[in-house]
Amino acid sequence: MWRRPILQRLIAFSWFGILAVAAFAFEPPSAADRAKALGSLENEPAVLQRLLTPDEDFAPLRTPGPGDWLTSHPERGQTFDGYCTVGFNRPTTSRNVIYLLPLGEFPADNSPPLEDLRVYAEAYFQLSVKILAAIPIDEDKFTPRINDYTQKRQLCSMGIINFLKTQLPADAYCLLGVTMDDLYPSPLWNYVFGQASLKSRVGIYSFARYDPAFFGDKRSNDYRQLILQRSCKVLAHETTHMFGLPHCIYFECLANGSNNLEEADICPHQLCPVCLRKLHFNVQFNPVTRYEELARFYHAHDWDDDARWTDRQLAKAK
């Protein structure tokens, strides 16, 4: 369940999280619940009304399976009206840049291209995104260990969060550390994909586990596209939290929680009408420009399904 304020969020849990016993069973929302979550659109501009009206492009949330996020974390969701009445960070004229700070090396064969991540985040959030000069891994600061299962080096995400707090540029809306090192939040945990402090506006995300070779699996011919898709997805998902969006329980949506890589892979790249309305309310972007820029990215990278989906949204806006 989402409670405010949640200042420290752990992203994608180890099996300790998966085994958590649910206090109540999750009930998939009804059509009436989804309509209530979206709220009345009558005061929104006509174009936004057309883009936010649920249709076949927005699938209702599937019933979660035994290992899925909502089975072990039965969240209650947050309506658009609920979002508007709680406090959340929001860009200002003097703090409006999303910074990406690479920590350590980004080897070409297993890393997402940072410039692609930058362009994607800029389109997704309609804010300026800048890449800072990479900082080498400081083994004294980040408490490395060797993971028992993978036999690979991991860094302590908590130490990185504390470091990032000291690196926040004056005009930053948020500072997102990115790394190809695997992460762990505390000695009891197996791993995390990332961790963030919403109050301090910093987060750290690892892309280490997105290459099939990390687990000793065979890479497909298009594995580099898979790495980019997974990395863009986690970057966009976690950055929505930076704008105060909790997990979505209404539609299949980028903002859905996920327990593991398999569930994250099912998650769409797109925001549902409820979550898009929240992000728009916060950032106040032009939704057509946003879809145009996303469509350009999807076409350029041959993400065919997303390109077609986004083209359909642009057709609706006309």
Residue 238 among the catalytic residues: yes
Tell me the two tokens of residue 306. 């997303």
Stretch of residues binding Zn ion (CB under 5 A), selected from 194-202, 228-236, 259-267, 273-281: 273-281
Contact criterion met (CB below 8 Å) for 202 and 18: no
Out of 174, 272, 279, 294, name the contact with Zn ion by CB under 5 A.
Answer: 272
Out of 255, 264, 279, 295, name the contact with Zn ion by CB under 5 A.
Answer: 255
Cβ closest to Zn ion, residue 100 vs residue 255? 255
Contact criterion met (CB below 8 Å) for 35 and 277: no
Tell me the two tokens of residue 255. 């903002």
The nearest distance, CB 246 to Zn ion, in angstroms, is 8
> Pairing state of beta strands 202-206 and 172-179?
parallel
Out of 98, 129, 275, 295, name the contact with Zn ion by CB under 5 A.
Answer: 275
Active-site residue, selected from the candidate residues 238, 252, 262, 263: 238
Q: For helices 223-242 and 114-125, what crossing angle results, to 10°?
A: 40
Cβ closest to Zn ion, residue 10 vs residue 180? 10
Give the C-alpha separation, 262 to 106, whole Å. 24
The nearest distance, CB 250 to Zn ion, in angstroms, is 6
Out of 117, 155, 180, 248, name the contact with Zn ion by CB under 5 A.
Answer: 248
Neighbours of 24 (CB within 10 A): 8
Out of 123, 183, 204, 253, name the contact with Zn ion by CB under 5 A.
Answer: 253
The nearest distance, CB 255 to Zn ion, in angstroms, is 4
The nearest distance, CB 12 to Zn ion, in angstroms, is 8
Give the C-alpha separation, 62 to 250, whole Å. 9
Sign of CA dihedral 191, 10, 241, 183: negative
Cβ closest to Zn ion, residue 33 vs residue 138? 33
The nearest distance, CB 52 to Zn ion, in angstroms, is 11
Judge residue 19's burial from the number of C-beta atoms within 10 Å of its C-beta, 0-12 exposed, 13-18 middle, 19 or more buried.
exposed
x/- map, 194-223, Zn ion, by CB under 5 A:
------------------------------
Cβ closest to Zn ion, residue 135 vs residue 261? 261
The nearest distance, CB 243 to Zn ion, in angstroms, is 12
Stretch of residues binding Zn ion (CB under 5 A), selected from 13-21, 143-151, 162-170, 266-274: 266-274
Half-sphere exposure of 254 (CA within 13 A, CB side): 25
245 binds Zn ion (CB under 5 A): no
Alpha helices (runs of H) in 171-303, residue ranges in sequence order: 223-242, 261-266, 273-283, 287-300
249 binds Zn ion (CB under 5 A): no
* Amino acid sitting at position 261: L
227 binds Zn ion (CB under 5 A): no
In order, the DSSP letters of 200-236 are TTEEEEE-GGGSGGGGTPPPPTTHHHHHHHHHHHHHH
- How many residues interact with Zn ion (rule CB under 5 A)? 6
Judge residue 245's burial from the number of C-beta atoms within 10 Å of its C-beta, 0-12 exposed, 13-18 middle, 19 or more buried.
buried
Cβ closest to Zn ion, residue 9 vs residue 316? 9
Catalytic sites, residue numbers: 238
Residues near Zn ion (CB under 5 A): 248, 253, 255, 272, 274-275
